[in-house]
Homo-oligomer: A and B are copies of this chain.
Amino acid sequence: MQSIGVGVIGTGFMGKAHALAFAAAASVFDLDRRPHLAVLADADEARARRCAGQWGFSRGIGDWRALIADREVEVVSIATPNHLHEEMALAALAAGKTVYCEKPMATCIEGARRMAERARSCPTLLGYNYLRGPAIGLAKDMIAAGELGEIVAFKGRFAEDYMADPAAPHSWRCVRALAGSGALGDLGSHLLGFAIHLVGDVQAVAGEVSTVIATRPTTAGSAAVENDDQVHAVLRFANGARGVIDVSRVAWGYKNHLAVEITGTKGTIAFDQERLNELRYCKAGQAARTGGFSTILAGPQHPPYGAFSPAAGHQLGYGDLKTAEVGHLLRGLAGHGVIYPDFAIGLVIERIAAAIERASAERRWVDLDEV
């Protein structure tokens, strides 16, 4: 099998997740070219070297520009903090590389626009890996096949509690220039990705973003939180469906509660990322005596589950979704299927998020055309 050279920038949780996914992809999926872990970059060069050794990269370096310039590197993975995405992506695109970038795409809508503009020439993929889950694949498939009828309502939420404690320290996540928006960008972007993937284009939004904890402790005292802790909004979709969403990083009890429910004229489906191997489904027209919501447990009949296991109910995990994302990218590069979501789709997500922020600031409905 031929190989394809991969460079990963960043050695945090996401860098490691990318490394593991590239290492596993060829064993799990039927690929034309096996990923070769060529270069790992981190501003801390010693760390880059150490992680490269542990994760199986040929070498670790301190300069991400050298990684991009490396002739061996065909795919550039960007797994760095949000505010670095744009510069790195633009550089990689300028070098003609395929770019696989973590979400959220950028820290401002203008940056996202620039990235989408330059991405026309090269393949790109954004790391919305929750889209890879077997239950979400099934949901998409059911909707596309008309099994839910006409979609009439979307309910979405993404709740976590990582900043629920008012004593949780101030960090880059609270700083506009480093993180962009708060819960909206970090969590809401996933939710909006689900919304457009499953229901379709959003036409207009209204609602509010709000900061629950105005200041957070720093070593020196305290500092202002510059972005949102929570989002509450209504959506109108182009196909006429309506929706509500709420997003929070201060919701006690939740760790990864990315939950959506979609109602159509022929049924309802519901999903929660905290139980990613399940899809709840109520089909219209069941006998009242024995009808109800059923819980579908993911199995090999729900791609990409079968690539991992022939036995239902054995559970995919977060890492598997990342491996599936890499598999999707590499198969797309080999001409098998369209790579999704690329930077163009990422921009759509960012525009919805920007519309929500404007709707909140101006206390009115905002059409997507306005942003």
Contacts and interface: CB of A to CB of B under 8 A. Distances in A.
Interface of A: 1, 13, 16-17, 19-20, 23-24, 26-28, 30, 34, 53-56, 138, 142, 152-153, 155, 157, 160, 162, 164-166, 206-208, 210, 212-213, 229-230, 232-236, 242-246, 248, 250-257, 263-268, 273-277, 281-285, 288-297, 299, 301-302, 308-320, 363-365
Interface SS majority for chain A: mixed
Nearest to A149: B166
The 5 closest A-B pairs by CB, nearest first: A255-B313, A317-B317, A253-B282, A256-B313, A294-B294
B302 A289 contact: yes
B252 A263 contact: yes
Given A294-B291, A299-B288, A364-B365, A20 B28 contact: yes
B230 A250 contact: no
A204 to B, nearest CB: 8
Given A27-B55, A253-B267, A255-B299, 20 more contacts: A13-B311, A19-B27, A23-B24, A27-B56, A34-B56, A206-B234, A208-B242, A212-B265, A233-B234, A244-B244, A250-B263, A274-B315, A276-B315, A291-B296, A292-B296, A295-B295, A317-B317, A317-B319, A319-B319, A319-B320
Given A254-B313, A315-B317, A315-B318, A289 B265 contact: no
A316 B313 CA distance: 13
**Which of A23, A27, A252, A316 has the most C-beta atoms of chain B within 10 angstroms of its own C-beta?**
A252
Given A54-B26, A248-B263, A301 B289 contact: yes
Q: How many copies does the complex hold?
A: 4
19 contacts: A13-B311, A27-B55, A152-B229, A153-B230, A165-B284, A207-B234, A230-B242, A232-B235, A232-B243, A251-B263, A254-B268, A275-B275, A276-B315, A277-B315, A281-B290, A295-B295, A308-B319, A315-B315, A315-B317
B290 A268 contact: no
A258 to B, nearest CB: 10
Nearest to A300: B288
Nearest to A29: B54
Contacts of A265: 164, 166, 212-213, 250
Nearest to A302: B289
B232 A244 contact: yes
A314 B252 contact: no
A190 B233 CA distance: 21
A292 B282 contact: no
A281 B23 CA distance: 37
A281 B291 CA distance: 9
A212 B152 contact: yes
Contacts of A276: 315
B1 A53 contact: yes
A294 B297 contact: no
A188 to B, nearest CB: 13
A235 B232 CA distance: 8
Contacts of A311: 13, 162, 255-256
A207 B268 CA distance: 22
Nearest to A12: B310
Most buried by B among A166, A289, A302: A289
Contacts of A267: 252-253
Contact of A293 (B142, B294, B309, B319): B294
